[in-house]
Structure formats: C-alpha cells, structure tokens
Structure 1
Amino acid sequence: MELLTTGQLARELGVSRGAVVKWAREGKIQPELSTPGGHHRWKLDDVRAQLRRLREDGGG
C-alpha cells in the first residue's frame, strides 16, 4: 500500500494541491492517515472512489 503526500495525490488526480486541501477541509475526501504534524497521507484508489461516490451523489 503506497501512501501519497497531498502534492503527489494532486499530481495523480491532475488538480492543484489547493483543491485537494479544500476538499479535505470540506470533508469531501478523507485521508488514510494524518501525521502527528497534521500532514495527510492518501491512498489514490480510495480517494478516486470517494470522489466517484461524491459525483454520483450529486455533491461534486
């Protein structure tokens, strides 16, 4: 299981880092874990599934 930084996730999704931060702050996506320093780590497939569900529910 490879965990990505927020910047790496943004590159994989083709969006800005700021967009990922905003989605997380709004509760649209959830990180796999957060470090003690408050940095998020992400699983790409999980985030893609979260975004897909969000679109299907009309929230994206």
Structure 2
Amino acid sequence: MSRPGRLVTTAEAATAIGVGRRTLSRWVLDGKVEPTLTTAGGHHRWDVDDLKRQLRELRKSGELN
C-alpha cells in the first residue's frame, strides 16, 4: 500500500489494485478513471486510495465488471 499523499506510477498503481498496467491505461483512455496528476510529458501519477475510491464507485454503478 502506498503512503498517504504519495503519488505512484501507473505500473505501481496497477499492481496495487491487481490489474495490468495496460488495463489501467485503457481505463484512463476510456474515461473510467482519472489520474491524480498528469505530468508535462503525459505520464500519469496516482494516489492509490483515490484510485480505489474511483473503482468502488464504478463497481457500484455497474460501469466496471
């Protein structure tokens, strides 16, 4: 688990939630989840707790199987 307030890479976030990096990247492209920060170079950074909250909401609404 990440430290509170620590932003992690897409690969680290994907590992933390048990999916592949490409899956998490696809969810971003599909507009299902939103990274905490996108760098000037286009790299996403994640707050894992916020990502987990987003996924809980998606599951509740049935948008994520």
Normalising by structure 1, what TM-score?
0.96
* Map of 1:20 onto structure 2: 24
After superposing on structure 2, the runs of 4+ consecutive aligned residues of structure 1 that deviate more than 2 Å are: none
Normalising by structure 2, what TM-score?
0.89
Distance 2:18 2:53 in 1: 16
Structure 1: unaligned runs, 5 residues or longer? none
Distance 1:57 1:11 in 2: 23
Structure 2: unaligned runs, 5 residues or longer? none
Offset of residue 19 of structure 1: 0.5
Percent same amino acid at aligned positions? 45
Distance 2:9 2:49 in 1: 14
What code does the residue aligned with 1:46 have? Answer: D
What code does the residue aligned with 1:7 have? Answer: A
Instruction: Give the CA RMSD over aligned residues.
Output: 0.5
